[in-house]
Structure formats: C-alpha cells, structure tokens
C-alpha cells in the first residue's frame, strides 16, 4: 500500500489510472470500513482510502480532540483489506487557509434528523467530501448506509454538481448481537456495550410493526422513544421516513427507520430499511 500525505503526491501517483475507487474515512477503522474497501476494490483499477478527521463537521462541544486516532492499526487493516493507496493529509494540507468556501446542502434534507441535532454538521461533511473528491478524482466512491442521511446528501450533491462519480452504498456492518459497528462504540463501558444492542432492537420492533400493517406511525415512534428512555437512554429521534427524501411518509412509500440516542456520554445512530 502506497501512503501519501500531500495532494500533489496523490495526483502524481494516481495519474496512470483511469478509474480510481475511493473510500473516505476518519480513521479508527473497524470491519465496516474494511468491508467498504473490499466492496470498492473490484469497482476500479486502483483502490484509494483516506484518513482525515474533519474539524468542520464537529460542533464545539463534540469530540474532535478526543476522537480516536489509531494510525498504525488503521494502516495494517487497510493493507490487509487490499487498499492500494492511502491519502492521509494533515489539516494544513487539506485546509491551507480558512475554508471560507463551503457546500451548503438544502435545508429540507440537511436540517432534519442529524442536522437538527447537530447544526452545521452536513455543511462540514459536504465541504470535506467535495474537497476529497476533488483531490482523488475517483470514478466510484463507496459510502456506508449506516450514515443514511449522509449517503443521501452526498448522492444529491454529486448529482447536482454533475460530478462524474458513481456513489455506491455499502450495507451496515454489525456485531453478532446486531449492534451497528461504529468508531464511537469504543467509548462504551462494558455494561453500556451490553445495553447498546437495544438501539437496533428498537428499530427491529418498529420495522416488524410496520410490516405487520400498523399505520399509526407517530404512536410507534413515541413508543420506541419511551422504551429507550425507560432503559436509561436519551433518544434524539426514532422515526420512520420515506427512503426517497427522509420526509414524513404517505401510504405506499418505501420506508427507512432511523434512530439516534445517547447511552451515557456516547451518541449512537442506526437505521434499517423496511
């Protein structure tokens, strides 16, 4: 695996290739990230991953400074997964001056759910993804479905800017008990880790009710929130939304159920398509 730290090095190394396949990450890699790399591998003629902890998508009270950075482990895992090129820019390399030009996604998609509870989050995400796509110039980029709203927003961004990039979705990787894999799972205590599976359980219960024909979605959502709260969680949302635009569903819509909740000091998200 070839490791590069500058945009110039990256572009020089990728110049001979016609179809780079790209997986952007913030490091602290787990099996979910590696599954995306393996998924990307046959989609291009060179497989590129990036590691960059993006300050722009963290709110002032969030965990930018303490976000786990596991460089040596990440490199070993990427090499084993078949990554060809690792782009690991410094903050000064990617943002050599204050990033005053930013990508602002539409409010109806970016200011709901995650964007409601983390104002400005998707501006930070879109801006860094746009910049990374400009650096790598891939023909394919793979993003995980675990960040469902993020995947949707990035797809729309690439489409609206007419970027010549195919956005491919990777399924959410899960632990044997059903917990969605996340870099932030490492923050959980042993007791919290045992409890954490209840988030996916709440979503499965909601999905089962919808598949059984339940139509009072607001009550189902409220019951799921109450169930988590009773177990000591602090839920931000548990909702059923239209897959196409994450708006309130109408009869016959294809649905996705999404949840975000704090367990102790750790905020977890998950989703399931119905």
- Return the active site residues: 33
Question: What gap in Å lies between CA 32 and CA 46, rounded to an integer?
Answer: 20
Q: Crossing angle for the helix pair 121-136 and 148-160, nearest 10 degrees?
A: 60
CB neighbours (10 Å) of residue 128? 24
- Tell me the CA end-to-end span of the chain in Å, nearest whole number: 39
Residue 141: in which H helix or E strand, if any?
Answer: strand 140-144
**Dihedral, 109, 115, 121, 125 alpha carbons, nearest 10:** -30
Q: CA separation (Å) from 169 to 39, 42, 59, 173, 215? A: 9, 14, 26, 12, 29
Question: What gap in Å lies between CA 6 and CA 18, rounded to an integer?
Answer: 20
């Amino acid at each position: 695996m070839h490791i590069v730290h500058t945009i110039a090095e990256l572009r020089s190394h990728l110049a001979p290739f016609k179809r780079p396949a790209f997986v952007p990450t913030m490091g602290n890699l787990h099996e979910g990230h590696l599954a995306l790399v393996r998924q990307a591998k046959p989609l291009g003629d060179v497989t590129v991953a990036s590691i960059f902890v993006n300050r722009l998508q963290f709110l002032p009270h969030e965990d930018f400074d303490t976000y786990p950075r596991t460089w040596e482990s990440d490199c070993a895992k990427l090499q084993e997964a078949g990554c060809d090129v690792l782009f690991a820019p410094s903050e000064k390399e990617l943002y050599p001056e204050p990033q005053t030009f930013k990508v602002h996604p539409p409010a109806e998609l970016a200011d709901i759910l995650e964007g409601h509870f983390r104002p400005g989050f998707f501006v930070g995400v879109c801006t860094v993804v746009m910049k990374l796509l400009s650096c790598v110039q891939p023909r394919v980029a793979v993003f995980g479905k675990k960040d469902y709203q993020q995947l949707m927003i990035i797809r729309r961004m690439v489409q609206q800017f007419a970027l010549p990039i195919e956005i491919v979705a990777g399924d959410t990787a899960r632990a044997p008990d059903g917990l969605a894999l996340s870099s932030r799972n490492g923050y959980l205590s042993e007791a919290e880790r045992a409890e954490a599976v209840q988030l996916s359980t709440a979503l499965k219960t909601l999905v089962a009710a919808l598949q059984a024909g339940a139509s009072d979605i607001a009550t189902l959502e409220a019951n799921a929130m109450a169930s988590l709260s009773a177990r000591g969680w602090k839920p931000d949302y548990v909702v059923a939304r239209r897959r196409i635009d994450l708006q309130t569903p109408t009869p016959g819509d294809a649905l996705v159920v999404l949840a975000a909740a704090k367990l102790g000091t750790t905020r977890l998200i998950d989703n399931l398509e119905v």
